[in-house]
Chains A and B, each alone.
Chain A
């Protein structure tokens, strides 16, 4: 083109930088680069001048100093003596926690709602339309504070659970308490052999993957379709349950006795005066013993120790008046053996219980976490539902008709023909919705959930006054999360998308 009538390098003039198409793009790029660098220098120069005026040079040393504030919601060890960097990590994990939970719930809800919106049932599809339009047209921040308000205003106070005719009651056989301070759910406690159960479960789960592959190969070679869903369920459930039952049986065959110094020989356990029990923390024995004593209607005090020996020493020194002892060991401890008990299940659940004016035991899910989680999920589910609907509708009707003409049943048409194709359309918007959940989780600030915006961008920023450093780190954190999610999801997208040659 231009090359032909412009002999190169003949006589280079400066104006050719502007008017010669060979050089112009380089000129423009150099100018842009210079302009970019100049504005960057200008901004940084301003920044340094301003910081120097405020006597604050950029400095990240504050990260290693003690944070001095508490974080009530944490996944790892943290105390007010921990460093700001640790607080940042706690916040980051909280962000990931709520984002992860949100993605799962939003996907489940969104897919079901999107499918139901296409239902032939008029009232169902209308209800789902109302849901989608209501949720996606109202700001997510409003949903979050609204959800928080519902939890605070509408759920009963813990003390309403007290007494004979309590105003509020727990759900599911006293295992779930919904209060205005949050939800209390049972906590799994691992007994002897529980690790084997967990290992069996994981191995069996891996086994199902290999089985799935084998079944697919078999189907392709012989044409026989196995009921893979049921078989996979059996592969996971049967060994796990057998191992669970085995350990529960062996555990259950060992008997223990409640030994106490606060009871006369032969008296009922319920007459025990102010029971205080020495237990090893986080063990099955601790859970069962406490439940046993609490069932008598007494208020139980608990002293927790790391090892059995420590607990026994404390009991002998009189720190507590009750302890659980194996039957074989009974003679070695002084006191009255009151009742025998066993703790069978390989994994048992510690139920939350009312203690004074609050619940104890179990896992405490705070209002802020649940409100944020539910609001984000419900809001994003509306968008995912739209993506799913669009994806299914994007599949040509001829596809399902052709599948039906081949003699496939309705369910198979959906599973084998429509959904695999729709998935390709659905996944890209799904990725961006996952990213949105992660970014919107920063609205935790509004309900006091301590995510990374709350710790690093909130209290740490306010305490240290290092706005520049904190916000920079905060942005980098989010950027890293976003890039990771989009990379992983794009890898998945590449694996399912239509392979074209």
Chain B
């Protein structure tokens, strides 16, 4: 029937690939030992890792969690390395500074609420109504952290409705531009003079409030987060205005914006903090004296807004010119086109940059230790100065570094996630 002399009727079973071509062996050959120099480098790098870990791990893994003082660690023959008791006994201080311990739920609640308030900004799948909470959050946070009468924050918040309604009702009477100017002025006057009067009156009638906490008691990670988050949140609108100013056709506005941005970016943050600690009161009406943390927040905001402006300018420059022209073609005026067309897109592409600025600012909050505030770095000296922990060094550094690392690393991962997400949509 068949002319072929031999036909295989059954298939050979599959052979496994040669040992060197599969699994870990192949991976190692390709990634670690592809050439002789590569093999030498890999071995050296491996030995380096082993060396570091063999020094570090025995030091880190010590049964010293329960020790109460450094002398307990030194006397205990079982403990030959790190004395982790300092972290346990001083944990509250590293987190909250000298914030009264019975009130420490307040910063915690504030922090959790902050996550809720930020969530709708960061993740666009969440319902937009949550943004209402984000709007009142800053006032709530100030009230919870500093305590005192509730009327102050409420009256400060009232500035927005006042401005909004003034704008709305005056628009028909005086025209748009005048209404806007009057609304802004009304809001500012309310904040400068009205709010304190009304809240003072209300507080004396209905005393509603919680225990006030002094600014000088703030400290630890809480202080870093407070300064960092308020700095970034306040600098965002200022940064937008500055970025628009820098792109403006109007010469004077452009000059003022460029001058401000370049001046702030040209000087180190520490000089601005010096201004906050010794100089800011000079520039305010005689007798004004508000606390150091607020002054620091003001200077940090000014600092961050210059960087923020550059980030947003990058976003504005990244938009195709067609978007600007299309907005003009629709007959939108400048503010409408910015609000409806340009800014939503520009802000979206600058989110990674904004997160980057925030990471930088959050790390830079450690500089406040140089003007005497007790952030985690400032607390190192405080803790080293106590009798129990006199002479402790590495444990504190490692813990604080790890604390910052966790925060900034997760933020940078978030920014990478955003970048990837934005890449696919374009």
Q: Which residues of chain A have a CB within 8 Å of any CB of chain B?
A: 18-19, 25, 28-29, 32-33, 36, 43, 46-47, 49-51, 53, 120-124, 127, 133-134, 137-142, 145-146, 149, 153, 439-440, 442-443, 445-446, 453, 457, 461, 467-468, 471, 474-475, 478-479, 482-483
Known: A25-B249, A139-B364, A146-B401. A439 touches B268 (CB 8 A): yes
| Contact between chains at B45 and A453 (CB < 8 Å) | no
Interface members, chain B 353-391 (any A CB < 8 Å) = 359, 363-364, 366-367, 369-370, 377, 380
> B104 on the interface (CB 8 Å rule)?
no
Query: B404 contacts which of A28, A138, A145, A475 (Cβ < 8 Å)?
Result: A138
Query: In the docked arrangement, what's the CA distance between A70 and B393, Å?
Result: 29
| Contact between chains at B46 and A123 (CB < 8 Å) | yes
| Contact between chains at B401 and A138 (CB < 8 Å) | yes
Query: B274 contacts which of A50, A120, A446, A457 (Cβ < 8 Å)?
Result: A457
Give chain A residues whose Cβ lies under 8 Å from the Cβ of B363: 137-140
Query: B282 contacts which of A50, A149, A443 (Cβ < 8 Å)?
Result: A50
| Contact between chains at B251 and A29 (CB < 8 Å) | yes
Query: In the docked arrangement, what's the CA distance between A134 and B408, Å?
Result: 10
Query: B367 contacts which of A28, A443, A475 (Cβ < 8 Å)?
Result: A443
- CB A460 to nearest CB in B, in angstroms, measures 12
Known: A134-B405, A139-B377, A479-B263. A120 touches B34 (CB 8 A): yes
Known: A139-B377, A145-B377, A153-B393. A471 touches B34 (CB 8 A): no
Taken residue by residue from 254 to 266, chain B's Cβ proximity to chain A (1 for < 8 Å, 0 otherwise) reads as 0010000001011
| Contact between chains at B279 and A468 (CB < 8 Å) | yes
Q: Which residue of A lies closest to B371 (CB)?
A: A445
| Contact between chains at B270 and A453 (CB < 8 Å) | yes
Query: A49 contacts which of B45, B269, B286 (Cβ < 8 Å)?
Result: B286
Q: Which residue of B lies closest to A467 (CB)?
A: B278
Query: A442 contacts which of B34, B252, B263, B271 (Cβ < 8 Å)?
Result: B271
> B103 on the interface (CB 8 Å rule)?
no
Give chain A residues whose Cβ lies under 8 Å from the Cβ of B268: 439-440, 442, 453, 478
Give chain B residues whose Cβ lies under 8 Å from the Cβ of A461: 274, 278
Q: List 29 A-B contacts (CB under 8 A).
A: A18-B175, A19-B175, A25-B250, A43-B283, A46-B286, A50-B282, A121-B38, A124-B41, A133-B409, A137-B405, A137-B409, A138-B363, A138-B401, A139-B377, A142-B397, A142-B404, A145-B397, A153-B393, A443-B370, A445-B270, A446-B369, A446-B370, A457-B271, A461-B274, A471-B274, A478-B267, A478-B268, A479-B263, A482-B267
> B49 on the interface (CB 8 Å rule)?
yes
Interface members, chain B 27-75 (any A CB < 8 Å) = 31-32, 34, 38, 41-42, 45-46, 48-49
> B177 on the interface (CB 8 Å rule)?
yes
| Contact between chains at B404 and A453 (CB < 8 Å) | no
Give chain A residues whose Cβ lies under 8 Å from the Cβ of B17: none
Give chain B residues whose Cβ lies under 8 Å from the Cβ of A47: 282-283
> B80 on the interface (CB 8 Å rule)?
no
Q: Which residue of B lies closest to A379 (CB)?
A: B363
Give the number of chain B interface residues (Cβ < 8 Å). 56
| Contact between chains at B270 and A18 (CB < 8 Å) | no
> B275 on the interface (CB 8 Å rule)?
yes
| Contact between chains at A149 and B42 (CB < 8 Å) | no
| Contact between chains at B270 and A467 (CB < 8 Å) | no
Task: Give 18 new A-B contacts, CB below 8 A, not counting A43-B283, A141-B369, A442-B270.
Answer: A18-B178, A46-B283, A47-B283, A120-B38, A121-B34, A121-B45, A137-B363, A139-B366, A142-B404, A145-B397, A149-B393, A446-B370, A461-B274, A467-B278, A471-B278, A474-B271, A475-B267, A478-B271
Known: A25-B250, A47-B283, A145-B380. A137 touches B267 (CB 8 A): no
Q: Which residue of B lies closest to A470 (CB)?
A: B274
Query: In the docked arrangement, what's the CA distance between A36 and B175, Å?
Result: 25
- CB B17 to nearest CB in A, in angstroms, measures 21
Interface members, chain B 396-426 (any A CB < 8 Å) = 397, 400-401, 404-405, 408-409, 412
Which of A43, A47, A50 has the most chain B CB atoms closer than 10 A to its own CB?
A50
Give chain A residues whose Cβ lies under 8 Å from the Cβ of B397: 142, 145-146, 149
- CB B396 to nearest CB in A, in angstroms, measures 10
- CB B263 to nearest CB in A, in angstroms, measures 7
| Contact between chains at A121 and B31 (CB < 8 Å) | yes
- CB A431 to nearest CB in B, in angstroms, measures 12
Give chain A residues whose Cβ lies under 8 Å from the Cβ of B250: 25, 28-29, 32
Q: Nearest 6 pairs between A and B by C-beta?
A: A122-B31, A482-B266, A439-B268, A139-B363, A442-B268, A137-B408
Give chain A residues whose Cβ lies under 8 Å from the Cβ of B266: 478-479, 482-483
| Contact between chains at B286 and A467 (CB < 8 Å) | no
Query: In the docked arrangement, what's the CA distance between A471 and B377, Å?
Result: 24
| Contact between chains at B284 and A120 (CB < 8 Å) | no
> B23 on the interface (CB 8 Å rule)?
no
- CB A228 to nearest CB in B, in angstroms, measures 25
> B161 on the interface (CB 8 Å rule)?
no
Give chain B residues whose Cβ lies under 8 Å from the Cβ of A127: 45, 48-49
Give chain B residues whose Cβ lies under 8 Å from the Cβ of A50: 281-283, 286
